[in-house]
Copies of this chain bind each other. A is one copy, B any other.
Amino acid sequence: MADIPARTELKVTTGPIRGSRKIHVEGPGGIRVAMREIDLEPSSGEPPLRVYDCSGPYTDPTATIDIMAGLPELRRDWIRARGDVEEVAQRQVKPEDNGQLGPDRSGGVQPFPNVRRTVLRAKPGANVSQMHYARRGIITPEMEYVAIRENLGRARRAEAAARDGQDFGAAIPDFVTPEFVRDEVARGRAIIPNNVNHPESEPMAIGRNFLVKINANIGNSAVASDVAAEVDKMVWSIRWGADTVMDLSTGRNIHDTREWILRNSPVPIGTVPIYQALEKVGGIAEDLTWEIYRDTLIEQAEQGVDYFTIHAGVRLPYIPMTAKRVTGIVSRGGSIMAKWCLAHHKESFLYTRFEDICEIMKAYDIAFSLGDGLRPGSIADANDEAQFAELATLGELTQIAWKHDIQVMIEGPGHVPMHKIKANMDKQLEACGEAPFYTLGPLTTDIAPGYDHITSAIGAAMIGWFGTAMLCYVTPKEHLGLPDRDDVKVGVVTYKLAAHAADLAKGHPAAKMRDDALSRARFEFRWRDQFHLSLDPDTAEKYHDQTLPAEGAKTAHFCSMCGPKFCSMKITQEVRDFAAKQNASADTFLAAESGMAEMSEKFREKGGEIYLPAAE
């Protein structure tokens, strides 16, 4: 890892992740799918292990990183080759786009220097969504890319591996084909969020029958704003495995911060447009109008945002259902719309104008992330009337979006005790026609602020197992403050392990390979392989070295838990050697006197041999 300044003061972390190499798997039509390969020690006799890689060009030593210029446009030609988009002049940036109202224009940030003059939009009458292509039987390069990526470079013949898991009715294939991806997108069971104005993104799929994904939230706020820090957090979060990033910026410089993030992001970027719209009206929710909101959608659509969280399910009649809650409405977007509805005693314009919003989404291929504005904010409010009333409406809206061939995922809670988690998944599948579920946690208890990455990882792993397609991370700062760089890493790694635990329990055919490789390394005392195969090699090695810093300890056949004199792993090896030799089975074992005698002797002879000298 190195902090490179490029030609700017914006620093991001680049360089390979310890112990692995960036590789590119070739696909049809010159597609090159980015993955990581972890090399194992020669003594292992094992080939390198391929793993899913979200980190983009930043971990590729051969790539030139220039934050001021942005990433290369990987999908540029794929998008234009379809011939259904046209170049139009980009909407003029207004001061209010950056929250600069009134005479005081201070506190601005440097605009992204390499800003585009023109943007892409569907030709009149055209629909450029992946779902639209899928439903017409077209397999796009994006779908080809996803298929190769989801297989983790496995060859078709490698499928044979016995399946072991409980998938609760999912349909995870042994091997992902481009046609399978197309079919899942066409059915609405998976989405590939990639705005035609975000050609820098590497295609990825969010769906119950693919690997479980995770999202990391970043963004400045009214009390803390620094564009450099947000770009750094974006690059840092994908380094550790964030599959998508949401820019939840509020306060000032929202437009410019987002431009810096989008131009430099290889993963899909999501936003909550109502946040920016609110800033445009000086923070007064009741002053929001459809026109201002619509203008904000177009502003963000042209910048290249890949999915919009839209709280169109917060309907006027549901609002009073939250009155008796312990924590009322905790969703920021949900409460903004609740306030607007109450102030005007009108139905939400997000609901009444939903088809107008669809027209915008299909012109750029932006996916809906239908927000759960009435999600429970405490254990006491879980699975209540307000929450499920909104979910039913999100189901209606899903059908409307699908009528327009627009990709949709559904956001879920929140705070839910373990015994009420499964019901959330089951109701979502039924109400929303298997559209991908995207949940925040859920947190399984309210009593551990400072540890909510853990209270929520418990719920996230479970709901991921039950069928949730993407898990929105929670950091240790949840409920307490804004996450810093370290919090972002802890949140991402925690959710990565929760998502992987879910893949394992679902029986994903590719998931267990990494656990087995790491466990073999552990059993054989290949310490470096154990570090490199872990989700966070740097932390694993650091912790090991705190007890046994000596270089020799990394090759010694013992660890600090048992010390050099005695090691259970070593004894097991002897058990294995004997059993292999005798081909012993539980039945014949006791009878094998000769074998026992022989082994008994062998043990006495080499009784001292399991004493290894301490490395230091």
Contact = CB atoms under 8 A, between A and B. Distances in A.
Tallying the copies of this chain within the complex gives 2
A607 to B, nearest CB: 6
Interface of A is mostly: helix
B338 A448 contact: no
Contacts of A61: none
Contacts of A516: 326, 378-380, 446
Interface stretch (A196-204, A290-298, A578-586): A578-586
Contacts of A514: 447
Contacts of A35: none
Contacts of A330: 568-569, 572
Given A250-B563, A323-B580, A543-B476, A534 B447 contact: yes
Interface in A186-230: 221-224
Interface in A229-257: 250-251
A89 interface: no
Contacts of A611: 283
Nearest to A461: B458
A482 B542 CA distance: 12
Given A518-B446, A535-B447, A328 B575 contact: yes
Nearest to A379: B515
A34 interface: no
Interface in A419-478: 419, 444-451, 453-455, 457-458, 461-462, 465, 476-477
Interface in A496-555: 496-498, 500-502, 504-507, 512, 514-516, 518-520, 522-523, 530-531, 533-536, 539-540, 542-544, 546-548
Contacts of A322: 572, 575-576
A298 B584 CA distance: 37
Interface stretch (A127-135, A406-414, A589-597): A589-597
B457 A505 contact: no
Contacts of A326: 516, 519-520, 523
Most chain B CB within a 10 A radius of its CB, from A222, A445, A515, A520 = A445
B540 A607 contact: no
Contacts of A572: 322, 325, 327-330, 335, 338
A442 B318 CA distance: 41
B481 A546 contact: yes
A224 B560 contact: yes
A331 interface: yes
A378 B519 contact: yes
Contact of A342 (B418, B494, B533, B575): B575
Interface of A: 165-166, 221-224, 250-251, 278, 283-286, 316-332, 334-336, 338-339, 342-345, 377-380, 385, 389, 415, 417-419, 444-451, 453-455, 457-458, 461-462, 465, 476-477, 479-482, 484, 493-494, 496-498, 500-502, 504-507, 512, 514-516, 518-520, 522-523, 530-531, 533-536, 539-540, 542-544, 546-548, 559-566, 568-569, 571-576, 578-580, 582, 584-586, 589-590, 593, 596-597, 599-600, 603-604, 607, 611, 614
Given A322-B576, A445-B504, 17 more contacts: A224-B547, A326-B520, A326-B523, A329-B568, A378-B515, A378-B522, A380-B519, A417-B501, A419-B504, A419-B505, A448-B496, A449-B531, A451-B539, A454-B498, A457-B457, A477-B543, A479-B530
